[in-house]
Structure 1
Amino acid sequence: MSKDKKRQYPMDSKMIGNKIAGARKKINMSQAALAGHVFVSPQAVGKWERGESMPDIITLNQLTKILNVDLNYFSENLSSLNTLNEAEQITSEVKHLTDSPQPQLLTNFSGNDLAKTDFAGVIAHNLKFNGSNLQGSDFSGADLTGSTFLGSDIREAIFNGANLTDCSLSACDLSAANFDQAIFVRTKFYASALEGAKISNTKLTDVKLSKTDLRKAVFENCIFEGVDFDYSDLRRLSLDSQTFIGVLFHNAALNETTFKGATLKNVSFRSTFALTNKYYRAIKTICFEGATMDKLTYASLKGLGADLSKVILL
């Protein structure tokens, strides 16, 4: 590389490169291994360490976790930068990556150990978290539109106020996760466990929960519109005081499910297969005490033998 080309990079790139190399060697990690963690080539890592280029701010944030260093590790001794406050600015940007939309450079976080990671406020679409450890991570207020979670450990994660539009969560453990005021539009849950998960103060629109275990999930102050509970397990689940509009409970396990005080409009409980005595018996165990429903929903449930003695007709 010519001297002229080297001059295109600021003096601090060399210092940051030395810090990356030092931290990497301290944990006995090769350049190739580090490259694999942040989805770049080993040659790119080599250029960083030689000061020929610099990682972007998002990658720098990832490096702090991989190399087990503090954010200030990369910002100390930067007094030679163009402005007096630029060192502090770098640290601030790394801590608050998502205060404003940024060019999205990282999308694949599959296979990563990201337990208790702070993703709060992130604006990042179409992310991939396949086989990732996200236990206890904070996605509060994040916009994760179109993201995929497959086979991931998401226990105790916080999705309060998160935008989960068009997201897919398949074969995930979401036990004790919190979804207060989350945005659910066309969100898909498949073969996932939500034991102790809490979904509250929100509207679920065109959401599909297929083959999902909801037996010990908690729903509070929710509106379900166009939701499909296909083959999901809702046994003994309390859906009291919730609102259901155009919802399908086809092939769902509903033994002893309660809808006390709930509102049901155009809701279907029919199985797509031939109705069996077992299905009729399950319908009879559902509690609709104090529920309000339209005439068509009422007629459908009456035909299935449901106890509607304490139902209020709209």
Structure 2
Amino acid sequence: MEAKIIGSKIAKARKEINMSQAQLAQRMFISPQAVGKWERGESVPDIITMNRLAEILGVDLNYFSENFQSLDDETTFKMTADSDDDITQTEQEVIDPSSLAERQLLTNFSGSNLSESDFAGVTAHKMKFRGSSLHGSDFSGADLTGSAFMGSDVSEANFEGANLTDCSLSAIDLTGANFNKAILVRTEFSKSGLNGAKFTNAKLIDVKLAMTDLRKTVFENCSFHGVDFKSSDLRGVCFDGQTFIGVKFDKTALNEVSFKGATLRDVSFRAMYALTNKYYRALSTICFDGAMMDKLTYAALKGMGADLANVSMI
């Protein structure tokens, strides 16, 4: 992507909304000279700054791509087949391979040092963070649908209100991460460290938490629908007052887990192998005081020796 092309597009978008270089600089918290350098093609904004520019100028992030075409000058073509049926093919957009490469540059942050970066409110689907440093970064309110985090340091990151639908978080450090009111649909956490991570006021739908140490993870005021905790360590976790529907606790460590006042419907508890005395002893340490559950969940737990003395059925 050439600096002069980006610069001319910044200038064009700025002038179309009758904004001066000084006004844009003020909104960006930079000097007017920096804006001038962009527009002359002497320097190029980084991706985070580009997101902010797009927001202020009222354009899509792809607008800065060399191959972006507006509605005024969009190039299309028609292909007509000369046949007895006189079949006419519909208009198709000409796709330049270079535009795909540019888009990839905007979404692939693998191997980058982005500690304490500001991604708040951005919309960027299918982003890639492999081997990246994202400690303390702010993803609050961002739409990260389909993004992948692998082998990265994402400790203390803020995902408050972020859309993590179809995201994959594998073998990463999420120590102290904040998931307050995050959108978690088909999100996959695997082999990751979640010590001190907080899931509060969140609805987890079809989420997978596989082979993950959750002993020091905080869950407060959450609901779990179709969640799979397969082969994870949940010892000592507090789920008091929360809702579980269609949840699987398969091959999980559940010693001293608390479900006080929780609602459980169609929930399964399965041992790693056979129902050994060790697994029975682990189930007997789970607290279900004041919990409500359907008849099948109740029967399964009762058959495995869980203490259901203060449980009511729904």
Instruction: Report the TM-score when normalising by structure 1.
Output: 0.72
Q: Per the alignment, do residues 249 and 98 of structure 1 end up closer, same or farther by CA in structure 2, a change over 3 Å counting?
A: farther
The corresponding residue for 1:137 is: 137
Please state if 1:95 is matched with 2:52: yes
Contact 1:238 1:258 in 2 (8 A): yes
Distance 1:124 1:278, change over 3 A: same
CA distance in 2, matches of 1:163, 1:207: 13
Match of residue 23 from structure 2: none
- Cα distance per residue 1:32-87 (max 9 Å; x no partner): xxxxxxxxxxxx6xx64xx5x44787xxxxxxxxxxxx854631478999xxxxxx
Q: How does 1:12-27 map to 2 (within 5 A)?
A: none
Is 1:200 aligned to 2:159, yes or no?
no
Distance 1:79 1:107 in 2: 23
CA contact (8 A) 2:51 2:122 kept: no
Task: For 2:172 and 2:38, locate their aligned partners in 1 and report how far apart those are by CA, in whole Å.
Answer: 43
Equivalent position of 1:177 in the other structure? 177
Distance of 1:97 and 1:79 partners within structure 2: 14
- Structure 2 match to 1:75: 35
Pairwise CA distance, 1:210:
0.2
| Paired position in structure 2 for 1:270 | 270
> Equivalent residue of 2:193, what SS?
coil
Q: How does 1:129-278 map to 2 (within 5 A)?
A: 129-271=129-271, 273-278=273-278
The DSSP-based 3-state class of the residue aligned with 1:300 is helix
Q: Could you tell me how far apart the structure 2 residues matched to 1:205 and 1:130 are?
A: 25
Q: Cα distance 1:296–1:94, how it changes in 2: closer, same or farther (>3 A)? A: closer
Q: Does 1:125 align with 2:85?
A: no
C-alpha distance after superposition, 1:15-34 (max 9, x if no partner):
xxxxxxxxxxxxxxxxxxxx
Q: Which runs of 4+ in 1 moved over 2 A?
A: 53-57, 70-74, 76-81, 91-105
Gaps of 5+ in 1: 1-43, 58-69, 82-90
Cα-Cα RMSD: 2.5
- The CA distance in 2 between the partners of 1:271 and 1:98, in whole Å, is 51
* Inter-CA distance 231–97: structure 2 relative to 1 (3 Å threshold): farther
Residues 74 and 108 (structure 1), Cα distance of their counterparts in 2 relative to 1, 3 Å cut: same
Matches of 2:261 and 2:276, distance apart in 1: 28
Deviations 1:228-268 (A, max 9, x none): 00001100011111100000000011010111111000100
Deviations 1:130-177 (A, max 9, x none): 111101100011000000000111111000110000000001110111
Q: Offset at 1:213?
A: 1.0
How much has 1:313 moved relative to structure 2?
A: 1.2
> Is the partner of 1:180 in helix, strand or coil?
coil
Residues 233, 97 of structure 1: alpha-carbon distance in 2 compared, 3 angstrom cutoff: farther
Return the offset for 1:97. 4.0
CA distance in 2, matches of 1:130, 1:189: 15
Alpha carbons 2:6, 2:39 under 8 Å: kept: no
Q: Could you tell me which amino acid in structure 2 is paired with residue 95 of structure 1?
A: R
Superposed, 1:48-59 pairs within 5 Å as 48=3, 53-54=5-6
SS class of match (2:269): coil
Paired residues of 2:114 and 2:134 also in contact (CA < 8 A): yes
**Aligned equivalents of 1:79 and 1:112: distance in 2?**
26
Task: Say whether the 8 Å CA contact 2:50–2:61 is kept in structure 1.
Answer: no
Q: Unaligned regions of 5+ residues in structure 2, if any? A: 11-28, 42-47, 63-101
Cα deviation, 1:178-206, whole Å, max 9, x if unaligned, reads 01110000000000111111111121000
Relative to 1, partners in 2 of residues 1:77 and 1:292: Cα closer, same or farther, differing over 3 Å? Answer: same
Q: How far is 1:98 from its partner? A: 5.0
Q: Per the alignment, do residues 309 and 163 of structure 1 end up closer, same or farther by CA in structure 2, a change over 3 Å counting?
A: same
Q: Does 2:283 correspond to 1:313?
A: no
Aligned counterparts of 1:92 and 1:111: Cα–Cα separation in 2: 19
Going from structure 1 to structure 2, the CA distance change for 1:211 and 1:94 (only over 3 Å counts) comes to closer
In 1, are the aligned partners of 2:245 and 2:266 still within 8 Å (CA)? yes
1:275 Cα offset (Å) = 1.6
Change (3 A) 1:71 1:132: farther
